């Protein structure tokens, strides 16, 4: 008979406590401890012993040599975020808000792999096989090797995998499945953890990659314990504004590649379309001589992205003027208006200021400061920004421009899209080291926000 004892697991940090408390002693969050019943393993059959009986020390060289090839993907954006295809035996957690397109993207990936490599098992614990079938036909997916299983018991899912030996397994979602062997109720922290662990163990033992869909909580973290993120090899996050078609797939953790990669997709009526050249798309509807519009060169990971920053300044009808930002950090916006008032002498005290990043994008890096400040000044002074100008730079509290990272990469992207001039902090130019600047773009280094406005705005 297995011994049972009670423990308490924090749903935020995943720490285990012996006693219940209102506040987690590790992360300090309130009301997050959940009761878990653990069974002490029977001595002769510890859960690991069955699959991993051959663990012994290996020479590093012998391991490196027997690297299995990755499964290549046709969707190059997805492939890049994964670090160049799917690693056999890898366990990948895909998170994102409801309705953002996780199931759609993974179904497309499943079809992609099924067509090229062989059987793929798509386990749907939330939708019926019929619903998935309808979605697939809408996406134009018809694949003999793509199998849909509507099942919620993890043991039975494992049996199907055993019998079928697919090249890829997708479980949508990990919160909706449960294990009959686990003593706690379905949907609890320990259920999610046990199910994920069982799938992960199977994947590692048989070299089958497993993709788990995870829900996102109100707070924006992947629901279930943080331990889930620690367990898996990679965590991908699908983000986007609900009312915009763009979706960014970000790698938050990746044991097999860089976490700086971002894939850009567009949600269409035919599923998720890859956007190979996002900058072009974000600038497509721009009016070149409108006031209050500036082009920022921001970085998403290692990828430069040109986005249009729009600002509107108008005299307020209230005693307290408003500063409203969409896609920018509100504190940054306050700071920039203060610097414009104090250091440039712009009288913004009676102006409502609205800033928007076009296309539902977010730019949080300080390198976008200068473009935001220029856009505000352009609207306030009613003078357009030169249409051929791309802008990068962080603004300091004294109105000085501070250097930004990866300048040459940014300038290359701007030059590629036909911008002939770029405004950058002078210190960035001095600090760029031996990298050569791209041809066809005149790079202007300036020291202060005041000088930058002078150069950026049409006289």
Q: Does 79 bind Mg ion (CB under 5 A)?
A: no
Q: φ and ψ at 401, to 5 degrees? A: -95, 130
Q: Does 188 bind Mg ion (CB under 5 A)?
A: no
Contact partner, 304, from Mg ion, ligand TYD, none, Cβ < 5-8 Å per class: none
Q: How far is the CB of 244 from ligand TYD (least distance, A)?
A: 12
Closer CB to Mg ion, 103 or 190, in the complex: 103
Interface mask (CB under 6 A) for ligand TYD, residues 263-302, using x and -?
----x-xxx-------------------------------
Q: Does 67 bind ligand TYD (CB under 6 A)?
A: no
Element of type H or E holding 350: none
Omega cis (within 30) before 173: yes
Q: By C-alpha distance, which of 275, 248, 279 is closest to 81? A: 248
Pick the stretch among 71-79, 96-104, 324-332, 395-403 that binds ligand TYD (CB under 6 A).
96-104
Q: Does 243 bind ligand TYD (CB under 6 A)?
A: no
How many residues touch Mg ion (CB under 5 A)? 1
- DSSP letter (8 states) at residue 300: E
Query: How far, in Å, CA of 201 to CA of 52, rounded?
Result: 9
- DSSP letter (8 states) at residue 50: T
Element of type H or E holding 189: helix 189-206
Element of type H or E holding 446: strand 442-446
Q: Does 103 bind Mg ion (CB under 5 A)?
A: yes
Q: Does 247 bind ligand TYD (CB under 6 A)?
A: no
Pick the stretch among 36-44, 75-83, 102-110, 378-386 that binds Mg ion (CB under 5 A).
102-110
Closer CB to Mg ion, 103 or 184, in the complex: 103
Beta-bridge mates of residue 312 = 354
Contact partner, 244, from Mg ion, ligand TYD, none, Cβ < 5-8 Å per class: none
- DSSP letter (8 states) at residue 218: T
Other C-beta atoms closer than 10 Å to the C-beta of 162 total 10
Closer CB to Mg ion, 103 or 379, in the complex: 103
Among 83, 95, 101, 425, indicate the residue that binds ligand TYD (CB under 6 A).
Answer: 101
The three-point CA angle 263-415-295 to 5° equals 70
* Runs of H (alpha helix) within 215-285: 227-231, 278-283
Q: How far is the CB of 175 from ligand TYD (least distance, A)?
A: 12
Q: Does 100 bind ligand TYD (CB under 6 A)?
A: yes
Query: How far, in Å, CA of 210 to CA of 61, rounded?
Result: 27
Residues that bind ligand TYD (CB under 6 A): 96, 98-104, 135, 138-139, 267, 269-271
């Amino acid at each position: 008979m297995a011994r049972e004892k009670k423990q308490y697991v924090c749903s935020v940090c995943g720490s285990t406590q012996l006693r219940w408390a209102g506040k987690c002693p590790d992360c300090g969050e309130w009301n997050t401890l959940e009761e878990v019943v653990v069974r002490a393993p029977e001595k002769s059959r510890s859960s690991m012993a069955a699959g991993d009986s051959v663990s012994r020390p290996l020479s590093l060289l012998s391991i490196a040599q027997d690297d299995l090839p990755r499964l290549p993907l046709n969707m190059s954006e997805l492939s890049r975020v994964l670090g160049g295809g799917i690693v056999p035996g890898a366990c990948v957690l895909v998170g994102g808000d409801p309705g953002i397109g996780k199931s759609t993207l993974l179904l497309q990936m499943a079809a992609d792999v099924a067509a090229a490599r062989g059987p793929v098992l798509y386990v749907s614990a939330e939708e019926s096989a019929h619903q998935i079938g309808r979605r697939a036909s809408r996406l134009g997916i018809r694949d003999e090797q793509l199998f849909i299983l509507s099942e919620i018991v993890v043991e039975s899912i494992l049996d199907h995998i055993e019998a079928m030996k697919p090249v890829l397994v997708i479980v949508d979602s990990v919160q909706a499945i449960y294990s009959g062997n686990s003593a706690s109720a379905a949907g609890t922290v320990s259920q999610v953890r046990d199910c994920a662990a069982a799938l992960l163990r199977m994947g590692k033992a048989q070299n089958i990659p497993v993709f788990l869909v995870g829900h996102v909580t109100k707070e924006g973290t992947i629901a279930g314990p943080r331990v889930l993120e620690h367990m898996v090899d990679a965590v991908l996050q699908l983000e986007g504004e609900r009312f915009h078609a763009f979706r960014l797939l970000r790698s938050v953790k990746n044991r097999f590649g860089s976490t700086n990669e971002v894939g850009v997709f567009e949600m269409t009526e035919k599923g998720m379309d890859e956007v190979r050249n996002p900058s072009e798309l974000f600038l497509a509807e721009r009016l070149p001589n409108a006031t209050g519009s500036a082009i920022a060169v921001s970085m998403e990971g290692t990828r430069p992205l040109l986005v249009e920053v729009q600002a509107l300044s108008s005299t307020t009808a209230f005693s307290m003027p408003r500063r409203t930002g969409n896609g920018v950090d509100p504190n940054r916006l306050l700071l920039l208006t203060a610097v414009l008032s104090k250091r440039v002498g712009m009288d913004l005290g009676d102006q409502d200021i609205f800033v928007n990043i076009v296309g539902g994008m977010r730019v949080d890096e300080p390198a976008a400061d200068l473009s935001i400040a220029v856009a505000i000044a352009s609207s306030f002074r009613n003078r357009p920004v030169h249409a051929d100008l791309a802008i990068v730079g962080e603004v300091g509290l004294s109105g000085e421009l501070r250097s930004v990272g990866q300048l040459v990469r940014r300038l290359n992207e701007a030059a590629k899209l036909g911008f002939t001039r770029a405004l950058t902090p002078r210190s960035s130019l001095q600090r760029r080291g031996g990298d050569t600047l791209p041809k066809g773009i005149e790079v202007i280094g300036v020291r202060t926000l005041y000088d930058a406005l002078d150069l950026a705005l049409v006289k």
